[in-house]
Amino acid sequence: MSGPFVLLEFGGHQDLVFLENRGATAYLEEPRYLTDAEEALVNLRKLALSARDSAALISGLADRLA
Protein backbone atom coordinates (compact mmCIF):
# COMPACT_ATOMS: atom_id res chain seq x y z
CA MET A 1 0.00 0.00 0.00
CA SER A 2 1.39 3.39 -0.91
CA GLY A 3 -0.06 6.83 -0.35
CA PRO A 4 -2.41 8.12 2.32
CA PHE A 5 -5.08 5.89 3.80
CA VAL A 6 -7.42 5.73 6.78
CA LEU A 7 -8.12 2.49 8.62
CA LEU A 8 -11.74 2.69 9.79
CA GLU A 9 -12.41 0.33 12.70
CA PHE A 10 -16.02 -0.18 13.71
CA GLY A 11 -15.78 -2.57 16.68
CA GLY A 12 -17.92 -5.57 15.87
CA HIS A 13 -18.63 -4.53 12.29
CA GLN A 14 -16.60 -4.83 9.11
CA ASP A 15 -13.45 -2.67 9.21
CA LEU A 16 -12.56 -0.70 6.07
CA VAL A 17 -9.57 0.95 4.48
CA PHE A 18 -10.46 4.33 2.96
CA LEU A 19 -8.37 5.66 0.08
CA GLU A 20 -8.80 9.06 -1.53
CA ASN A 21 -7.03 10.89 -4.32
CA ARG A 22 -7.85 13.63 -6.82
CA GLY A 23 -9.88 11.41 -9.09
CA ALA A 24 -11.54 8.82 -6.89
CA THR A 25 -12.23 7.40 -3.48
CA ALA A 26 -12.39 3.75 -2.45
CA TYR A 27 -13.51 1.74 0.55
CA LEU A 28 -11.69 -1.59 0.72
CA GLU A 29 -12.85 -4.43 2.93
CA GLU A 30 -10.81 -7.35 1.61
CA PRO A 31 -8.63 -8.93 4.33
CA ARG A 32 -5.39 -8.35 2.39
CA TYR A 33 -5.98 -4.58 2.32
CA LEU A 34 -6.86 -4.51 6.01
CA THR A 35 -3.71 -6.48 6.82
CA ASP A 36 -1.58 -4.14 4.68
CA ALA A 37 -3.03 -1.09 6.43
CA GLU A 38 -2.53 -2.58 9.89
CA GLU A 39 1.09 -3.48 9.08
CA ALA A 40 1.72 0.01 7.69
CA LEU A 41 0.37 1.57 10.89
CA VAL A 42 2.58 -0.68 13.05
CA ASN A 43 5.62 0.40 11.03
CA LEU A 44 4.66 4.09 11.22
CA ARG A 45 4.29 3.86 14.99
CA LYS A 46 7.76 2.31 15.24
CA LEU A 47 9.24 5.16 13.19
CA ALA A 48 7.35 8.00 14.88
CA LEU A 49 8.87 10.17 17.56
CA SER A 50 7.28 10.18 20.98
CA ALA A 51 5.09 13.16 21.87
CA ARG A 52 7.91 14.56 24.03
CA ASP A 53 10.53 14.12 21.30
CA SER A 54 8.20 15.63 18.69
CA ALA A 55 7.63 18.69 20.88
CA ALA A 56 11.38 19.05 21.44
CA LEU A 57 12.06 18.81 17.71
CA ILE A 58 9.43 21.42 16.85
CA SER A 59 10.62 23.72 19.62
CA GLY A 60 14.21 23.42 18.45
CA LEU A 61 13.26 24.18 14.87
CA ALA A 62 11.15 27.16 15.95
CA ASP A 63 14.10 28.52 17.96
CA ARG A 64 16.36 28.21 14.92
CA LEU A 65 13.86 30.12 12.78
CA ALA A 66 13.29 32.91 15.31
Question: pLDDT digit string (tens) for 12-54?
Answer: 999 999 999 888 999 999 999 999 999 999 999 999 999 999 9
- Domain assignment present for 28: yes
Rounded to 5 degrees, φ, ψ at 16 are -140, 155
Quick check: 1 pLDDT over 70?
Answer: no
- The values of phi and psi at residue 31, to 5°, are -55, -35
- pLDDT, residue 22, reads 86
Q: How many domains does the chain have?
A: 1
Q: What's the CA dihedral at 35, 1, 28, 25 to 10 degrees?
A: 160
In a domain, 1, yes or no: no
Q: pTM of this prediction?
A: 0.74
The answer to whether residues 22 and 3 touch, using CB atoms and an 8 Å cutoff, is no
**Domain extent at residue 57:** 6-65
